Amino acid sequence: MEFDLHTHTSQGSACSRMNIWDLIQAACERRLDGVCITDHDFCWNPEELAKYSKESGIQVYGGVELSTSMGEILIYGVHQSLLHLREDLPALIQFVREQKGVMVAAHPFRSDFALSAFSREERGLEPIEVEELCRRPLFGYVDSLEIYNGRSSWREICAAKDAAKILGKKGTGGSDAHSILSVGSCVTVFEDPVVNEAHLVGQLLTGRIHAKKKEVSRNVLGM
């Protein structure tokens, strides 16, 4: 089963250019089995999303992309504001554990690869060593790393894949879509069926999953 685990809607993220029905329609046309809406620091009501699931025929769940002092974290399985915990990661992880949720480092190396290798050399910066990046405290708190992100460069994705291996963590995929053109460009594949949100969260922690990148055709989206 294929889920896009990282998407944004205009209702919860000012930077997004699609509303929730735009997202769901694009996900249906891409033949996804489900999506998680991970708006910035915003929690959707799960009962409202259950109505969208029933009307659309695909699974629609809510997460959050929480901005913290150590980077952005995708959190699934928690349905209340976490803003008061974003500067205290030990307290955050304890609360998420109590709620039976899961934490994923979103695009963990985005800022590191903002410059090309040539630009780094020009500026006198050292080459990026993934082993060194893996020593960051953030990785001691999260359960998984987002490997495939639709807005990440290939060098960033490769670094995330290497980091997941070094850290012994699972890797997820999500489009980070802010418009319908990107929905489903990166997904998480669940090798066992997902029947509800609790099952999805449980599989993110212990299940057989892998991330992959997909080509998004404009014709599929009716462009």
Query: 39-51: per-residue pLDDT in tens?
Result: 999 999 999 999 9
Give helix then strand counts, H and E, for the chain: 7, 9
How many angstroms from the chain centroid is the CA of residue 111?
16
Q: Residue 45 contacts by C-beta under 8 Å, 6 or more apart in sequence?
A: 62, 79
d(CA 193, CA 209): 11
Residue 167 inside a domain? The answer is yes
Residue 221 inside a domain? The answer is no
Angle at 206 between CA 200 and CA 211, to 5 degrees: 70
What percentage of the chain carries pLDDT values higher than 70?
Answer: 91
Q: Tens of pLDDT along 136-159? A: 999 999 999 999 999 999 989 999
pLDDT at 216: 72
CATH number reported for the structural domain that contains residue 27 in this entry: 3.20.20.140
Q: Tens of pLDDT along 192-218? A: 999 999 999 999 999 899 999 987 765
Residue 23 inside a domain? The answer is yes
**Domain extent at residue 75:** 2-213
d(CA 160, CA 108): 7
- As a residue count, the chain comes to 223
The total of structural domains in the chain comes to 1
Judge whether 195 and 10 are in contact, CB under 8 Å: no
pLDDT at 126: 56
d(CA 72, CA 56): 30
Phi, psi of 79 (to 5 degrees): -125, 45
pLDDT at 207: 86
Residue 32 inside a domain? The answer is yes
What pTM was estimated for this model as a whole? 0.91
Residue 220 inside a domain? The answer is no
